[in-house]
Chains A and B, each alone.
Chain A
Amino acid sequence: GAVVSQHPSRVICKSGTSVKIECRSLDFQATTMFWYRQFPKKSLMLMATSNEGSKATYEQGVEKDKFLINHASLTLSTLTVTSAHPEDSSFYICSAKMTVNYGYTFGSGTRLTVV
């Protein structure tokens, strides 16, 4: 079945630095990918929708200059958390939408800890 690979699975960084998270669709082309964030004991919140070759669409309240999304190819979308702060510590998950059966496949997530 469709597989979405997300790396890294876990990252610890210092305040003020930037972190890049990659999301790849391994055996299919994903024209649309989504980035979610999950706080402890909360639901997954959609951050942005990433379309190949165009600018990402951000949800209300999400800073586009802080969370840079690049969807340069049909198999790769990246999320860069710029100038990270401790409040950015969270679990980030990407998802790709299948066009065949309207399914959404998720990556395994990235646990970001900013110290």
Chain B
Amino acid sequence: DQQVKQNSPSLSVQEGRISILNCDYTNSMFDYFLWYKKYPAEGPTFLISISSIKDKNEDGRFTVFLNKSAKHLSLHIVPSQPGDSAVYFCAASALMARAGGADGLTFGKGTHLIIQP
């Protein structure tokens, strides 16, 4: 049962345009969401996160939107640059659900973003 879903295996965007990566989740206990960028044979690199008490978080070219009622979040990258080409993983955690807050992440399958010149 996939609790975090990224339904688009790949996405192609022209350089300079906006990239929108989508993520859906099913577990209502999730209260903290993260986006990671990953290159082959490397560990994921943290991009941006959002707590369930917010609906938007922005950091430079990256903005994450959270729609709790729809159990949906999205990552916007604008403007898209060639160096953004990578696999992007959405991850979720039930941070506050457990005592101590320590919890492993549940990842989606990733979306391969390709920025075309």
Chain A residues proximal to chain B, CB less than 8 Å: 4, 6, 9, 31-32, 34, 36, 41-46, 49, 51, 59, 91, 93, 95, 97, 102-109, 111
Contact = CB atoms under 8 A, between A and B. Distances in A.
B68 interface: no
Interface string B34-72: 101000011111100100000000000000000000000
B contact face: mostly helix, strand, loop, or mixed: loop
11 contacts: A6-B43, A34-B104, A34-B105, A36-B104, A42-B109, A43-B110, A44-B107, A46-B106, A95-B43, A95-B104, A104-B91
B45 A102 contact: no
A31 B101 CA distance: 12
Contact of B104 (A6, A49, A102, A103): A49
Contact residues on B (Cβ < 8 Å of other chain), bracket:
20 to 34
A contact face: mostly helix, strand, loop, or mixed: strand
B25 interface: no
